[in-house]
Structures are given as structure tokens and as C-alpha cells.
Amino acid sequence: MVQLLLMILSLNLFAKVDKVHREIYLGEKNLDSYAERYQPLVFQDIYKGKITFADELFFQNFFEPYLFQKESDYSFFLKSELNGGMICSNELLSEHFDDIRFSYRLITLSYLLEGQWHNKLVSDHLGLKNGCEFDLKTWIKSCRPKSPEMKKFVGRIDQYLPRYNEALLSDYKKYHWWKDFKSNDFKHYSHYRMQTECKDKCTEDELANRFKNVCAKDQAVMNLICSEMDSIYGMSEHRDAYSLLGQSNIINTYNKRGEAMGCLRRFSEVMAHKEVRFEVFKQLFPSLQTYLKQKYQERFLQGRVFFYGSGKEFEVKGLSDLYVKDQPLKIEKLEVEEVVKPEAPKVPVAKAPEKVVVAKVTPPPAPKKEPIKEIRSPVKSAFLLAAEIRSAQNLDRVEVDMLKLKYDYVFSLNMINTLSERLTTFMTREALSEMMNYDKLGTKQGPVPLMFLKYMIDMQEHHGLWNIISVLGDRFYVSNEIDAAFSPAPEFVQLMNNQDTGNQWQLFVIKP
């Protein structure tokens, strides 16, 4: 009996964890071109999702079998399996897999819809004949959702038909839009979207056809997502999606033990090899997020339709009537009976007084108490955590979790534009040498800003990073602006990119 019970429990546990194996490890993978000398065998790290050709691993670890046979197993456990389990275990990732994928689909679909609405508005406002063609009702009919959550979402959009009440300035004409576009003075999402479409080869005469093509392409992507025939997983190249989900209420459905953000990160990394990239995603999130935040603050930060798919948390608690149409306020007339005055008796004889009818007035409802909003304390970045561990334990060197650091701070569109302009000069050898000689760059008195360093790593500015190493060396001081709330002191770091780091940029906090 005990053996049977153990077998049933093990089968249930295997069924949960098996989803990770089935979705991550098995199936088709997007690989780079093979140019080695033996055979294209691949090794996939199931905990981090990274795929490496076996030839590359063989030459990287050529001497290990002769020195310490078990070293690779211990190293893999510490760097991959243990790290992945601490971020989000296979069991938790299997449990939340479908909810997390729906969340990424929902935020992507919500922003694509915002983009379609905007392009339709601009196309009509500029008077483009046969320009962007998009109708919400028609698009809904083309969706073929399969999962319960997607069916609910599409059904609610069809039922409530959210409105897009936007308008451009009346004196903003086609001439002004085209002038802004050609001078790279982008003011609207349509400018960014048309840049990815045109690639500097558009003419003003073909603008209507370009708008039509863009809307048709983007609507095709939307159809794939709402019909769940897409290859949208964790949007690994667009961390704005992760940031937007982290600020929404949808993560409460899979945050029972505080694991939501870690599971979102790990899901994004391990499913990256199955993603298909579309050109619409290049500028979708940064530009629209900046616009929505400037105009509506936090109200529509995830898009106008995101709310219709993020209510599972409340449905589980029995609050299903969240989506109510606007209804006119009905005011009922209050009927007040006339007060009858009793006549004075002629003879002073004791007599029961007549009943006085008083109007019944309903007291006003008690004012609702404002809910107490929880003030979240700032979260420490991976860099600050590594620095604190090194200091507390007096270690010589601590490795920074580059995956967590990658998601700790997401650059906005305005910041990307600002940093790209400033760093063009900052990354040259001449500028670095001058700042090292006159401003003591890299020393404790003139530390390198961590924000600049992270930007170059995120944007794969390899040339600038190698320039820093060639001028300053691979060890220098860094100032931590990401964790400004904790007032951290400058830290001494080492920046590496070699076979030991998997040919990826890696930061270490080291003892001065």
C-alpha cells in the first residue's frame, strides 16, 4: 500500500515537472548556422535555456577530464541547476507555465491593439486614401481562441467593445508628420513603426500604401496571438513586457510565495530559443509605454484592453462581476405623504392622539473608506546584492547575477535615446583616455556609472566595452545609480568576456 502511494505521488510530481521538460527541452529550436568541424550536436541547458554546440563545449573544457572529472558536474549544478531552482524551480515553473505564457500574450496583444488604433487614427487624420484599415469588431471575428483564459478575454472585448477616444491637433497636417519623420523628430508611435517598415526608403507619395501594409502585417500577428497559433513566449528581447507585467495585478495569480518575478524572468530565458521575432516588436513597447504613461499615468500603462484579461485573481475569489457597461443613472422620485394635523378637541376629554404619518426618507449611504495602499519598498538589484554579500562575508570576489541585473532596470525610450547620444562620444578611446587622465575615470573619485555600463551590455555595444577594458583595464570602480534609494558606495569591479564566462559579458564585485 505504501509503495502504491509513493508511486502515485511520484507520478503526480513527474507530471508537473514534465511540462518543463516537454515545453523547454523537446521540440524544434532556432539554432545559429553550424560551422564547426565534426557534427552539429547541441547541448541545451534546461535551467537557463542556453543552447551550445557540442564542439564548442568540447574545446572549452578540453583539459577538464584529465584534471578533475567531476568539476563540470559540480560547476553545472552551482551555476545552472541551483541558480535556476532558486529563481523559480521546475515544479513552480510547470505549475505557472500556462498562466505566464498567457500573461506575455496578453500584454503583447494589448500593445499591438494600441498601435493599430493609433495607426488608424493617424491614417484617417492625415487623409490617406486606402491607408490603414482596422476595425475592432471585424478583427474579433477573425480570432479563434483555444484556452479558457483567451476565450474569456476575446469574449469580453466582443461584449464591451472598449473605445479609443484619441485625437490629433487639427492643425497637424500630413506635411508636419512627414517633416517630423524625415528629420527623425519622432512625436508619435506611427513614426517609430514606419521607421521599421521603411528603413529610410519611403517616399511621401507611397505613405498610404505603407500605412496599409503596416496595419495588415500587425493585424496578422494579432490574429496569430488571439488564436494561440503564435510563437510568443517570454519576449526575451523586449524586457519592457516583463516590467509592465511586474507592475500589473495579473502576477497575483501566480505569486503565492513571492515567486512571480523570478518565474517571469526564467520563463523568458528558457523559452527564448522558440520565439519568432517580428519587426513590429522593435519599437512597440518603448514608444507606446512612454506615450501611455505621459498621458494616463498608471491607468492604461498596460493598454486599454489588458484589464479584460487580467481578472483571474478576482474570479477565483468569486468577484466575477468586474466588467460593467456604462448605464444612465436612474433617479426615482421620493413619494412623501402629507402630514395630517389633528384637530383640537372641544371637550378636554382624554383621547388617544391620531396617528401622524411621517415621510420615510432613506438615509444617505455611509462614505466608503479609501483602501490603504501598500507602499512597496525598493528592491535591491543583483549588483547591490552581490556587493553586500562580498562585504558581509569578506570575500575576494562575488559574481553578479547578470540575468537578474538584466531585468532589474528597464530603460525607457527617452533614456535610450539620451544615452545613445551621450555614449557615442563616451565609448571612444580618445574620450576614455582624456577622462581617465583629467577626471580620474575608473577610480574611487571618478567611478564609471553602472547605468552606462549596463546600457552598453544590454545593447551589445561590444566595441565600447572593449575600449573601456583597453583603456581602464578590466578592474575599475563603479558608481551604482540603479540602487540610489539605498545610497550605495562605489564598488570595485571586474569586467570579463571570455570562455570562462561563456563568451558573455560578466561583472564581478571584487575586494579593493
Model confidence over 17-55: pLDDT tens digits? 577 777 766 766 666 666 666 666 776 666 666 667 677
**pLDDT of 156 strictly over 70:** yes
State the DSSP string of 250-287.
GGGGG-TTS-HHHHHHHHHHHTGGG----GGGGTHHHH
Mean pLDDT of 169-173: 91
pLDDT for the residue 138: 93
Q: Give the pLDDT score at 32.
A: 62
Q: Are strands 448-449 and 397-399 parallel, antiparallel or unpaired?
A: unpaired
Q: Is the pLDDT of residue 155 over 90?
A: yes
Cα distance between residue 89 and residue 52, in whole Å: 22
CB 111 within 8 A of CB 284: yes
Q: What is the pLDDT of residue 17?
A: 54
Q: How many whole angstroms from its chain centre is CA 428?
A: 32
Position 492 scores a pLDDT of 95
**What pLDDT does 131 receive?**
92
| Mean pLDDT score, 160-180 | 91
Contacts of 165 (CB under 8 A, 6+ apart): none
Whole-number Å distance between alpha carbons of 495 and 453: 10
Tell me the average pLDDT of the chain: 80
- The full length of the chain comes to 512
How far apart, in whole angstroms, are the C-alpha atoms of residue 238 and residue 265?
12
Task: Pull the grid cell for residue 405.
Answer: 541585473
Whether residue 308 contacts residue 156, with contact meaning beta carbons closer than 8 Å, is answered with yes
Per-domain residue ranges of the chain: 2-87, 97-316, 382-510
> pLDDT band for position 284 (50/70/90)?
very high
Q: Phi and psi of 81, rounded to 5°?
A: -65, -50
| pLDDT at residue number 305 | 94
In what helix (H) or strand (E) does residue 509 lie, and over which residues does it extend? strand 506-510
Compute the average pLDDT of residues 444-473: 89
pLDDT range class, residue 296, cuts 50, 70, 90: confident
Q: Is the pTM of this model over 0.85?
A: no
Question: How many other β-carbons are positioned within 10 Å of the β-carbon of residue 367?
Answer: 6
39 phi-psi bin (left φ>0, alpha ψ -120 to 50, beta other): beta
Cell numbers given for 275: 520565439
Q: What is the mean pLDDT of residues 487-512?
A: 89
In the predicted structure, residue 326 carries a pLDDT above the cut 60: no
The upper half-sphere exposure of residue 489, i.e. CA atoms within 13 Å in the direction of its Cβ, equals 7
The per-residue b/e assignment along 451-490, b for 16 or more CB within 10 angstroms, e otherwise, is bbbbbbbbeebeebbebbeebbeeebbbbbebbeeeebeb
Digit-coded pLDDT (tens) for 371-420: 444 445 567 888 999 999 999 989 899 999 887 888 787 777 777 777 77
Chain centroid to Cα 88, Å, comes to 17
How far lies 322's CA from each of 149, 163, 307, 330, 341, in Å?
15, 17, 10, 21, 50
Write the DSSP assignment of 13-79 as a string of letters. Answer: HHHHHHHHIIIIISS----PPP--SS---EEE-TTT--EEEHHHHHHHTTTHHHH-TTHHHHHHIII
Q: Looking at per-residue confidence, does 97 or 360 come out higher?
A: 97
Residue 490 grid cell: 562605489
| Closest-CA residue to 387 (of 314, 479, 269) | 479
- Give the model confidence (pLDDT) of 98-124 as tens digits: 999 999 999 999 999 999 999 999 999
What is the C-alpha separation between 63 and 70, in angstroms, rounded? 12
